[in-house]
Structure 1
Amino acid sequence: MARPRTISDERLLAATGVVIGRFGPGFTLAQVAEEAGVAVGSVAQRFGSKAGLLRALTQAGRRDVVARLRSVAVSAADPRAALRDALVAVYSEIGDAATAANHLGQLGMDIADPELRGLLGEHYAAMEKELRGLVRAAAADGWNGPEPPVAARTLLVAVNGAALDWSIRPRGTLVARLRETIDSITGSWYA
């Protein structure tokens, strides 16, 4: 009879995110295991390899980002604020510029791998789909902006670029930079 799991995949994936933030793409399964408080074999057995762990992290990240966008959208009374707040919520846990840079370094490695690049494409497509709904809700009164698919893609590209820029030139907080970026774009979309 197999032993029951005493640690969840979510805990291992959360530990992976912390370790990537600390060490960037050079992280090891041993560092993930240490962060999670388990043996290295537990991580390797569960995910097979570092590549398997990264695939699982990307898939879980997609589910998490969709849930985060939806929860902010549901809780906000003002659709314009919901759009901005949802985008900010996606990136608000990044922390400091060094952590952001380490995550971006891992992103660069992920893009180089065809399978992970495909999963990242699914991740960003899911984000864009959720953003289209938020744009539609915000586009009611006085909207002078692009069609929702274009607006959603524009905002997604802008916040990704702002996060990258902030990780290299960290002035102020990431949240403030994202709000400023989003507001500078969406402000022109209303009459």
Structure 2
Amino acid sequence: MSQHQIQNQTEIQTQTSIRVRPAAASDMDGMWTIFDAVIEAGESYPFAPGTSRAACADYWFNPRSTSFVAVDAGQRVLGMYKLVPNQMDLGAHVANASYMVSPAARGAGVGTLIGRHSLDEARRQGYLAMQFNYVISSNQAAVALWKKLGFEIVGTLPKSFLHARLGYVDAYVMYQLLIEPAAWPAPACR
């Protein structure tokens, strides 16, 4: 068995004990722990270190967002994502999403699980495409995952992120059609 096959088998076995479900207010302690660790690292999100718990709650539980958590059998939050329209009104058919995985759960397939779940959920909610506006180029695991799940880099924002260790680095805009345009509903013309 190749290393790749072993890795995929391990990922599948790990994911079978992890469930993705809608986030609830009772998940906030676990979500905050992850959010705080990711933000304090200063490597993948534009939030400043020291961002408050209230700002975290507003980010994940606002009226425009639908948030989900990946939990283990004991209901411990291992990761989370949210879906939101990328733009208002005439751009609302394109989803945007944000993801965070607990540093303790990295490498266990949680990112892949919530990534796939988010694509299915976006389709279920009627989105026709998904766009990530700000994927940090030095976050190689995220870039590789999104490419594996069908996203393409459609733009580069030169030196737009101030990385805690690397200084100014690029960010990518990544995009994926969720449904072939030939199958999109006809737009209502005025």
TM over 0.5, shorter chain: no
When the two structures are superposed, what TM-score results if normalisation uses the length of structure 1? 0.30
When the two structures are superposed, what TM-score results if normalisation uses the length of structure 2? 0.30
Please identify which structure carries the higher strand content: 2
The higher relative CO (CA closer than 8 Å, separation ≥ 6) is in: 1
Structure exhibiting the larger radius of gyration computed from Cα positions: 1
Please identify which structure carries the higher helix content: 1
